[in-house]
Amino acid sequence: MAFKPANNIQDLQYFGEFGGVNPSISDSSTYTFLSAKTMFDTFEGNADGCYLYSRHSSPSNLYLGEALAAMEDTETANVTASGMGAITAVLMQLCNAGDHIISSRTIYGGTYAFLKNFTPKFNIETSFVDITKLETVEAAITPNTKILYCESVSNPLLEIAGIKGLAKIAKKYHLKLVVDNTFSPLSISPATLGADVVIHSLTKFINGSSDTVGGVVCGTQAFINDLRNVNDGAAMLLGSTMDSLRAASILKNLRTLHIRMQQHSKNALYLAEKFEADGLKTVYPGLKSHPSHELYKSMMNPQYGFGGMLTIDVGNIDKANELMELMQHKNLGYLAVSLGFYKTLFSAPGTSTSSEIPEKEQKAMGLTDGLIRFSIGLDADIERTYDLMKACMTSLHII
């Protein structure tokens, strides 16, 4: 039977303290114990269901974590204060000094900077490879390799990771396959395809209202326990903890994610097909011209479509900037980084979200300076949006 991630979210029942239809928000940093012995046991990790201190866990964070684990089909999950808080904790938890990571070379700029500039301080080295070539991935493995890291749909080039093939390699060499699924929630379910750990920046589609940062790590109970361990857990000790009020608010937004993703995907596919027909260099996984269109189809939960992200290349950065300023002036979206908002957001990755990547490497991976990344919004009338966008492009002689 097909995997139904949105059903899994909807089937959860959490009632509030007084029978509320939403769970109560836990407004405490610390928790009392009836006996001193239970407090000791909780510190030792031996008192299930007891709360200790909210950096470790809190009821509101657990509710959100369990909903996200249900969505990703993992045993459990741990929410964090940001997507980077999730990514850095996972990498630091799984690696010791001297270990080696193989990462896709097209990843979020912050993750790239962490692996390139920060983890070498701990003698953890990363090889950046073309993740779409499984033989290149396998050839990069060394005796010290611990992690295969990728994004299901990569930022900003929208390359697709073949998660089943990567999982096979990870199994063969006893590596952990860690997948950042931020661009494709509901559409792709990496754990069902063999990923060991699934990460999201909740900041983007999942929360969807651009009012907070947040993150999550979905994985086995054993791994999440390790992250929370009071003695050596990276989530516990690095302290990237989400606040309870925010966890409650993100949980409420999560419940409409399936409707939003369908609309984001529908609008993005409409625009991508029109832009391509207009002769623009357009990248969208839902287009037959995308090199991994069939691969995406083989992995996806089809009712959610190919996601809300697309890119076009308008030739050079000056044209890109002119077009983005004009589209914002016409109220077709905002010139802003980030994604998953109800309004379309656009930015030029080469000079913004991917500026951590040196220019030479940007070129090598095909990140051109005329590239515009769109996070397509929930527009009720996408035909009208297209007509107005086309008028902007015509007036700037782009098409």
Ligand X SMILES: *Cc1c(COP(=O)(O)O)cnc(C)c1O
For residues 183 and 307, the answer to whether their CB atoms sit within 8 Å is yes
Candidates 47-55, 93-101, 176-184, 355-363; binding stretch for ligand X (CB under 6 A): 176-184
Task: Work out whether strand 309-313 and strand 281-283 pair parallel, antiparallel, or are unpaired.
Answer: antiparallel
Q: Is 82 in the site for ligand X (CB under 6 A)?
A: yes
CB of 15 to ligand X, least distance (A): 30
Q: Which of 174, 189, 379 is CA-nearest to residue 387?
A: 379
Selected from 58, 126, 145, 182, the binder of ligand X by CB under 6 A is 182
Both tokens assigned to 93 = 């938890």
The Cα 228–Cα 234 span in angstroms is 7
Q: Is 370 in the site for ligand X (CB under 6 A)?
A: no
Residue 282 φ then ψ, to 5°:
-120, 135
Identity of the residue, 60 or 182, whose beta carbon is nearer to ligand X in the bound complex = 182
Selected from 108, 128, 205, 306, the binder of ligand X by CB under 6 A is 108
Identity of the residue, 57 or 354, whose beta carbon is nearer to ligand X in the bound complex = 354
Residue 138: left if φ>0, alpha if ψ -120 to 50, beta else—which one? alpha
Q: Is 110 in the site for ligand X (CB under 6 A)?
A: yes
Q: Is 201 in the site for ligand X (CB under 6 A)?
A: yes
* Cα four-point dihedral sign 113, 117, 119, 125: positive
Residue nearest to ligand X (CB): 83
Q: Is 60 in the site for ligand X (CB under 6 A)?
A: no
CB of 266 to ligand X, least distance (A): 21
Selected from 131, 179, 213, 224, the binder of ligand X by CB under 6 A is 213
The Cα 145–Cα 162 span in angstroms is 19
Q: Give the three-state DSSP class for 157.
A: coil
The Cα 114–Cα 257 span in angstroms is 29
The Cα 206–Cα 288 span in angstroms is 27
Selected from 204, 228, 264, 290, the binder of ligand X by CB under 6 A is 204
Residue written as token pair 């995997």: 3
Q: Is 347 in the site for ligand X (CB under 6 A)?
A: no
Q: E-assigned strands of 181-225?
A: 197-201, 215-219
Selected from 180, 196, 369, 379, the binder of ligand X by CB under 6 A is 180
Q: Is 276 in the site for ligand X (CB under 6 A)?
A: no
Q: Is 93 in the site for ligand X (CB under 6 A)?
A: no
Identity of the residue, 149 or 223, whose beta carbon is nearer to ligand X in the bound complex = 149
For residues 365 and 356, the answer to whether their CB atoms sit within 8 Å is no
Q: Where are the alpha helices (DSSP H) in 255-334?
A: 257-277, 293-299, 317-329
Q: Is 84 in the site for ligand X (CB under 6 A)?
A: yes
Candidates 178-186, 233-241, 275-283, 314-322; binding stretch for ligand X (CB under 6 A): 178-186
Q: Give the three-state DSSP class for 190.
A: helix
Identity of the residue, 151 or 196, whose beta carbon is nearer to ligand X in the bound complex = 151
CB of 109 to ligand X, least distance (A): 9
* Cα four-point dihedral sign 29, 35, 40, 45: negative
Selected from 5, 23, 83, 333, the binder of ligand X by CB under 6 A is 83
Q: Is 349 in the site for ligand X (CB under 6 A)?
A: no
Selected from 99, 151, 196, 243, the binder of ligand X by CB under 6 A is 151
- Residues near ligand X (CB under 6 A): 82-84, 108, 110-111, 151, 155, 180, 182-183, 201, 203-204, 213, 215
